[in-house]
Amino acid sequence: MILSPSLLSADFSRLGEEAAALEAAGVPWLHLDVMDGAFVPNISFGPPVIRALRPRCGLFFDVHLMVEEAGRYLEAFAEAGADLLVIHAEAVRHAHRCLGRIHDLGLRAGLALDPGTDIAAARWLAPDLDMLLIMGVDPGFSGQSFIPQTVAKVRAAREALDAWGRADVPVEVDGGVCLENVAALSEAGADILVSGSAFFRSASYAAGLAAFAAAARSGPSPQTQRRPGLDAAQAWRHAAPASQQKGK
């Protein structure tokens, strides 16, 4: 399991120190929630904040674009230092073109699905995906309650990716993830877990990371240990800087 804490729940008055502290605690990824006030009813931050954080840490930047027609901003996010750009199936008219442009920029490309969007939305994009994000809440805010049927959806997403010949594509879950559902999500096939409010409630970042890791291991069948998608995602942050890579 890879933990990707959401910066949305960090202290906005000292984001640079927060990013450095997360890295020092051993956190591998940082989830950056970009909200435009149009696709979702909230506004967060954009490329300038990501650009300012880039020199402050070596975390893998997992950028979640809750933005209408995010294709308009891909170059700006690449230039700011994103490693992975995740677009929403519901917010872009031409997803295949967007994913291709993300790859052309040398970054990893992910697709996010809202709770009401069927996994079939990813079917014909599967050859072009580096990651599939399953939302556990309707996007827009931290601290919302986890939608329980997300566990079954994660299992179905894992099975579908495997059936589509993409066992190497990791599944990320975002929204409402907490210590109470980490075991079930890991067992169902989640490779990357995003956490905002639950993680930032931890006594310390190191304690939070340890608690999430222990909860992931406590599931009935720790499938995560043998999933190629997890290996692929873990390797990304040790690979050459995304800007020096082409495609996957």
Residues that bind ligand DX5 (CB under 6 A): 6, 8-9, 31, 33, 64, 137, 139-144, 174-177, 194-198
Q: Which is nearer to ligand DX5, 142 or 186 (CB)?
A: 142
Q: Which residue has the tokens 């993409």?
A: 166
Tokens (6 digits) for 12: 């906005």
118 among known catalytic residues: no
Residue of 35, 64, 153, 224 interacting with Zn ion (CB under 5 A): 64
Give the integer Cα–Cα distance in Å for 132 and 121.
11
Residue 102 exposure: Cα atoms within 13 Å on the Cβ side: 28
Catalytic, out of 36, 62, 83, 174:
174
In the complex, minimum distance from the CB of residue 237 to Zn ion, in angstroms, rounded to a whole number:
18
Task: Assess 33 for contact with Zn ion (CB under 5 A).
Answer: yes
Q: Which residue has the tokens 């970009």?
A: 34
In the complex, minimum distance from the CB of residue 61 to ligand DX5, in angstroms, rounded to a whole number:
14
Amino acid residing at 170: P
Contact 147, 115 (CB under 8 A): yes
Catalytic, out of 33, 62, 83, 191:
33
Give rounded-to-5 percent helix, strand, coil for the chain: 45, 20, 35
Task: Assess 174 for contact with Zn ion (CB under 5 A).
Answer: yes
Which of the choices ligand DX5, Zn ion, none does residue 115 contact, using the CB cut-off of 5 to 8 A by kind?
none
Catalytically active residues are: 33, 174
